[in-house]
Amino acid sequence: MSFRVSDALTGGIERTLAKNGLVLAAAFYVLLAVQTLFTPSGVQTGMEPEPIIDAPVIGGLISVLTSLAGLYLLIVALRTFVTDETETIPDAALRNRPVWAFLNVFVGLIIFTLLVAIGFVFLIVPGLFLLVALWFFDVYVAVEDDDFVTAMKRSWSLTSGNRLGLFGLGVGVVLITIAISIPFTIAMVIVGGVLGVLISQIGTAIGGIFVYATTAVAFTQLRDSKAGVEDRSETDDWGSSTDDEWNRSTDR
């Protein structure tokens, strides 16, 4: 199966609107809402509504905790979306080496951000190249238990020969997330205040899960095209619902 941008975008939309995709979006929304309601920095608008808790230390702690929970949600979402499961969150997605995956994604994201930022300093193009080439490092960490260094190397290899198409996919993802946010942003302007911000974050949550879903769909497309489904099912338990061992683990 070759990589197709349209299939990745369509698949990302379908997975986002599936039952477990909406559950993940709801969880993401709760984290965003907590940041808005309980931290001074949670509201990023000119209206500046007051947080419920005014203590900076408590607000800062809540902000850190919700950010860490958001990173864990990323891992769970990627693990869920690389499977064919559309109803529930697989138990293994929640429990399989969470600390290992969390630490490697956390450190990897810091390095990834620094590399891309440095690349953007050099006339933007190197930054875009690194953004595309290392796009799937967090999927390799979450799905295949790689450390972040190995994950970045494998992402580099996986994207080789498809980086122009992946850049097009990135553009499509940005445009769709903007389209998702528009009605909620309009509602925010009309309603105003904290309630308006909470409404706008519905679009942010749906858009964020769409990004994760599309990333997972594109990853499986690329991996299938390079390795084949049979080889993939023999080397890990995350690839397809046709893998009997994975089916048994998710049915428990």
Rounded average pLDDT over 201-205:
97
More confident residue, 3 or 172: 172
- pTM of the predicted model as reported, rounded to 2 decimal places: 0.84
| Stretch 175-192: mean pLDDT | 96
Query: What does the pLDDT average to over 128-135?
Result: 94
Q: SS3 letters for the chain?
A: CCCCHHHHHHHHHHHHHCHHHHHHHHHHHHHHHHHHHHCHHHCCCCCCCCCCCCCHHHHHHHHHHHHHHHHHHHHHHHHHHCCCCCCCCCHHHHHCCHHHHHHHHHHHHHHHHHHHHHHHHCCCHHHHHHHHHCCCHHHHHHHHCCCHHHHHHHHHHHHCCCHHHHHHHHHHHHHHHHHHHHHHHHHHHHHCHHHHHHHHHHHHHHHHHHHHHHHHHHHHHHHHHHHCHHHHHHHCCCCCCCCHHHHHHHHC
Instruction: Report yes or no on 250 lying in a domain.
Output: no
248 part of a folded domain: no
Q: What is the mean pLDDT of residues 65-79?
A: 96
Backbone angles phi, psi at 52, to 5 degrees: -65, -40
Is residue 220 a part of any domain in this protein?
yes
Indicate the pLDDT class of residue 235, thresholds 50, 70 and 90: very low
Give 98-127 pLDDT, tens digit per residue. 999 999 999 999 999 999 999 888 777 888
Report which of residues 177 and 251 the model is more confident about. Answer: 177
Q: What's the total number of domains in the chain? A: 1
**What confidence score (pLDDT) does residue 218 get?**
97
Domain membership of residue 126 (yes or no) is yes
Tell me if 156 is assigned to some domain: yes
Q: Please indicate, yes or no, if residue 94 is contained in any of the structural domains.
A: yes
Query: Which of 36-40, 86-90, 224-228 is most confident?
Result: 86-90
**What is the average pLDDT across 152-174?**
95
CA distance readout (Å), 133 to 86, 157, 173, 213: 28, 8, 16, 18
Mean pLDDT, residues 223-249 taken together? 51
Instruction: State how far the Cα of 209 lies from the Cα of 201, in Å rounded to an integer.
Output: 12
Domain that holds residue 19: 5-242
pLDDT at 50: 56
* Per-residue pLDDT reduced to its tens digit, 24-69: 999 999 999 998 888 765 444 445 555 555 567 777 888 899 999 9
Evaluate whether residue 80 is within a structural domain. Answer: yes
